[in-house]
A and B are shown apart, each in its own frame.
Chain A
Amino acid sequence: MAASSTARSFLQVAATEEVVSPLRVVQIEGLVILKIIKHCKEFSPALVTGQLLGLDVGSVLEVTNCFPFPIREEDEEIEADGANYQLEMMRCLREVNVDNNTVGWYQSTILGSYQTVELIETFMNYQENIRRCVCIIYDPSRSNQGVLALKALKLSDSFMELYRANSFTGEKLREKNLSWVDIFEEIPIKVSNSALISAFMTELESDTPVTQCDYDRLQLSSNPYMERNMEFLIECMDDLSMEQQKFQYHYRNLSRQQAQQQSWLQKRRAENMARKAAGEEPLPEEDPANPIFKPIPEPSRLESFLITNQISNYCNQINGVAGQSFNRLYLMKALHDN
């Protein structure tokens, strides 16, 4: 009896699904950060991508290594080459005991303009194979200002469901209470290093009280950066207004179609009255073959959401840089007064 009861409980245990704990923190090794920076900086301003390798442990996603992807040519044979390269690299790294699981990918960006449909598609591709994946975005243009612009992103679950259903109408969005803020989730990043590395770094660090980072931060000229940010912002506003116009057009069409439907219905009803008076069969009140009854598809809101995300990103960046500039200006003022 005991044996069968334990067997049953084992089956029960095997049958219950593991509860997936939500991803709370991404833990990156210093090695990965340096590799990403090196790769992105070498090829900037071109945008580059690479693969992240690591382990998925509970609510922490550990990223322990990465390797860059070669620049992809738009050629069919090189596509297969790219897949070969990936397999080759994973195999070689496996031989030296590097963690072999893909946990995501990284890409570089310019001034934070990374919210595109391709990003979402790549996410969906990865999500099919891996339970938890993350995308790390690095902005090399901001490192000239002394800021380490590294972000870990994940698509929110509710958004992913909607995307799979491929329906972005207003109804569905209101149902799920999803707004443009909910598309991407940013996950906090923790940095970890092995003891050996931290011993080496502690020793090799030059003892200067001021580092290159500080020089970059205290630079007074932030104008070119702000100008570029504003340019991108203006372009995005243009895109957004185009999307709004698409919506307006759609609404106008919709209301026109409804007016047409109403008038047709009335005509039908009048006809039916006439027929009833004449003693004939009333015609049906609906006519699915009539083109004015064809439902007009509502344009997808995905683009406008993405653009909105980008705009808010630019705004945040402007705010951040403006804050820094205030600091610097007041510093200059104080120095000069002295």
Chain B
Amino acid sequence: MAAGDLTVLQFSTQSTANLTAKVHPLVIFNICDCYVRRPDQAERVIGTLLGSVLPDGTVDIRNSYAVPHTESAEQVALDIEYHHNMLVSHQKVNPKEVIVGWYSTGLGVTGGSALIHDFYSREVPNPVHLTVDTGFRNGEGTIRAYVSVNLSLGDRQLAAQFQEIPLDLRMVEAERVGFDILKTMAADKLPTDLEGMEVTMQRLLALIDDIYKYVDDVVEGRVAADNSIGRFISDTVAALPKLTPPAFDKLVNDSLQDQLLLLYLSSITRTQLGLAEKLNTAAQIL
């Protein structure tokens, strides 16, 4: 501590400035399932995250598996052989998925986590640590992602800090499956085509109603007009193709006729099948 020689505590932030993580819904499902099935004496579950690093630097987390571990106040023991076995098995199916980090349930980052993070950073250069709060301690389920950042004082390495990185939780696939199925505890049956169509149309109707209400409100001065929304609405309405009524009718009727033709064809085929069946098995061998 010579005078005039000020050392500054540095956070090295350049590499982690624009790192984001994207999590697929399957990972959350996996983690919750492992947590529900954990052995009785374990308080939390630890596991490996698999995925890939996209060209723009985002870490895409696509799959995960739990790793048995034992934890006590002073030390943490992870079953490394299990971890390697599972990794090899998973890579047999999908060689493109590599380790990108690890997860643990529970709200914060504990002392033991630093050791585990150390172990994972020996496997991957910059592992991502995902915490999933299954205890809902903040009144909501928080999912956070961290990377380890080195704190250095001058030239000396002091410690590593867990720094939070933004997490993208958009669930496009889950939406495809239908949130209704995934949200409730029991869904009695999968929706058929027509039921799904009905639900979609109802949603569309609700949207159109909302827009009507909004426009009415703006016209009557109840709500302040927002120009950008107005422009969106006018763009949408203008996106309907400008066809003259006869041309449009012709288009619709042609498509209708095509569909009817296909329906007719398939009905004929089924009748034919029924007939053929009767003939085939009814024929007696004399």
Stretch at the interface among A2-10, A191-199, A273-281: A191-199
Q: Which residues of B247-286 have CB atoms within 8 Å of chain A's CB atoms?
A: 248, 252, 255-256, 259-260, 262-263, 265-267, 269-270, 273, 276-277, 280-283, 285-286
B183:A198 contact, CB within 8 angstroms:
yes
Measured CB to CB, the closest approach of chain A to B276, in angstroms, equals 7
Measured CB to CB, the closest approach of chain A to B243, in angstroms, equals 8
* Interface residue? A311 (CB, 8 A): yes
Query: CB-CB contacts of A146-157 with B at 8 A, as 1s and 0s?
Result: 111010000000
Q: Nearest residue in B to A92 (C-beta to C-beta)?
A: B86
Question: How many Å lie between the Cα of A86 and that of B110 in the bound state?
Answer: 36
Question: How many Å lie between the Cα of A233 and that of B24 in the bound state?
Answer: 37
Question: How many Å lie between the Cα of A97 and that of B37 in the bound state?
Answer: 6
Q: Which residues of A167-195 have CB atoms within 8 Å of chain B's CB atoms?
A: 170-171, 173-174, 179-180, 188-195
* Interface residue? B197 (CB, 8 A): yes
Q: Nearest residue in A to B263 (C-beta to C-beta)?
A: A322
B273:A318 contact, CB within 8 angstroms:
no
B93:A69 contact, CB within 8 angstroms:
yes
Q: Nearest residue in B to A214 (C-beta to C-beta)?
A: B200
* Interface residue? A242 (CB, 8 A): no
* Interface residue? A249 (CB, 8 A): no
A319:B263 contact, CB within 8 angstroms:
yes
A146:B183 contact, CB within 8 angstroms:
no
Query: CB-CB contacts of A120-153 with B at 8 A, as 1s and 0s?
Result: 0000000000000000000000010011101000
Query: CB-CB contacts of B106-121 with A at 8 A, as 1s and 0s?
Result: 0000000000000000
Question: How many Å lie between the Cα of A275 and that of B85 in the bound state?
Answer: 85
Contacts of A71 in B (CB 8 A): 93
Q: Nearest residue in B to A254 (C-beta to C-beta)?
A: B285
Contacts of B203 in A (CB 8 A): 209-210, 214
* Interface residue? B35 (CB, 8 A): yes
Contacts of B24 in A (CB 8 A): 38
Contacts of A268 in B (CB 8 A): none
A173:B281 contact, CB within 8 angstroms:
yes
Measured CB to CB, the closest approach of chain A to B213, in angstroms, equals 14
Query: Total interface residues on B, using CB and 8 Å?
Result: 88
Measured CB to CB, the closest approach of chain B to A287, in angstroms, equals 21
**B28 touches which one: A68, A204, A336 (CB < 8 A)?**
A204
**A196 touches which one: B36, B259, B280, B286 (CB < 8 A)?**
B36
Question: How many Å lie between the Cα of A49 and that of B215 in the bound state?
Answer: 52
Q: Nearest residue in A to B83 (C-beta to C-beta)?
A: A92
Contacts of B134 in A (CB 8 A): 196
A203:B140 contact, CB within 8 angstroms:
yes
Q: Total A-B pairs in contact (CB under 8 Å)?
A: 240
* Interface residue? A1 (CB, 8 A): no
* Interface residue? A294 (CB, 8 A): no
* Interface residue? A12 (CB, 8 A): no
Contacts of A192 in B (CB 8 A): 185-187
Measured CB to CB, the closest approach of chain A to B80, in angstroms, equals 13
* Interface residue? B231 (CB, 8 A): no
Q: Which of A189, A193, A205, A216 has the most CB of B within 10 A?
A: A193
**B26 touches which one: A34, A97, A98 (CB < 8 A)?**
A34
Contacts of B188 in A (CB 8 A): 190
* Interface residue? A238 (CB, 8 A): no
Contacts A34-B173, A213-B196, A327-B201 given: A92-B82 contact, CB under 8 Å? yes
* Interface residue? A258 (CB, 8 A): yes
B187:A301 contact, CB within 8 angstroms:
no
**A212 touches which one: B34, B175, B276 (CB < 8 A)?**
B175
Measured CB to CB, the closest approach of chain A to B57, in angstroms, equals 22
Measured CB to CB, the closest approach of chain A to B41, in angstroms, equals 12
* Interface residue? A230 (CB, 8 A): yes
Measured CB to CB, the closest approach of chain B to A300, in angstroms, equals 12
A33:B181 contact, CB within 8 angstroms:
yes
B68:A95 contact, CB within 8 angstroms:
yes
Question: How many Å lie between the Cα of A211 and that of B174 in the bound state?
Answer: 10
| Given A31-B26, A198-B182, A201-B25, 15 new contacts (CB under 8 A) | A31-B29, A42-B94, A96-B65, A180-B277, A196-B36, A201-B174, A204-B141, A211-B176, A213-B177, A214-B200, A217-B196, A226-B262, A311-B269, A311-B273, A315-B267
Interface residue ranges, B against A (CB under 8 Å): 24-26, 28-30, 32-39, 62-63, 65-66, 68, 82, 85-86, 89, 92-94, 134, 136, 140-141, 143, 169-179, 181-194, 196-197, 200-201, 203-204, 206-207, 240, 243, 248, 252, 255-256, 259-260, 262-263, 265-267, 269-270, 273, 276-277, 280-283, 285-286
Interface residue ranges, A against B (CB under 8 Å): 29-31, 33-35, 37-39, 41-42, 65, 68-71, 85, 88-89, 92, 95-98, 143, 146-148, 150, 170-171, 173-174, 179-180, 188-206, 209-214, 216-218, 226, 230, 233, 237, 240, 244, 247, 251, 254-255, 258, 298, 301, 304, 308, 311-312, 314-315, 318-327, 329, 331-333, 335-336
Subset of 17 A-B contacts with CB under 8 Å: A33-B177, A38-B24, A38-B26, A39-B93, A65-B33, A92-B65, A146-B200, A191-B182, A199-B136, A205-B183, A212-B172, A213-B176, A217-B200, A312-B273, A322-B262, A325-B259, A332-B252
